[in-house]
Amino acid sequence: MPPEGDRLCPRCGQLIPAGQTDCPVCTRPQGFLWSLERETLVLLSIVVLAIFFTAGLNNTPFYPSKFDLQSSLTIHNASSSHYTLTAMSYVALAVPFVLAYIAYVWRAMDLRKMTENDLKGENAGKL
């Protein structure tokens, strides 16, 4: 039995102290990263960015070759050409339009549901 004024959360069964409206466990975002404190997330982000910048700016190979060290893969020699990166940038700009078109057509098809007459009509065999 909870103490006077406290209550149990109906979802998780945790004790909600008197004066609080929400359960401290259920309202917390779930997942590994969200369980960390803000300072820890900032420090972790800085460390990961420092590792990426060290590897990128020092031309450090991320896939070293055992036989010929000059053939190791770095960010510079593993990336695509300038033309390919430019073309893929234009393609990436078109992706929202493609997704909008898919959503528009999907909505247009869902406005009218199929009936049994549509399945048994004269055009049923042509589907």
Per-residue burial over 65-102, b if 16 or more Cβ lie within 10 Å, else e, is eeeeeeebebeeeeeeeeeeeeeeeeeeeeeeeeeeee
Three-state SS for 8?
strand
| Euclidean distance between the first and the last CA atom of the chain, given in angstroms as a whole number | 63
Q: Over the stretch 33-65, which tens digit does the pLDDT of each residue have?
A: 555 677 888 888 999 999 888 877 777 777 788
Mean pLDDT of the chain: 80
92: which 2 tokens?
């990436």
Are the C-beta atoms of residues 62 and 52 closer than 8 Å to each other? no
User: Which residue is associated with the tokens 């593993």?
Assistant: 78
Question: pLDDT per residue over 80-91, tens digit each?
Answer: 899 999 999 999
Report whether pLDDT(103) > 60.
Answer: yes
Tokens, residue 84: 């390919």
Overall average pLDDT of the 98-105 stretch: 96
Report how far residue 73's alpha carbon sits from residue 56's, in angstroms, rounded to the nearest whole number.
11
H or E segment to which residue 108 belongs: helix 82-111
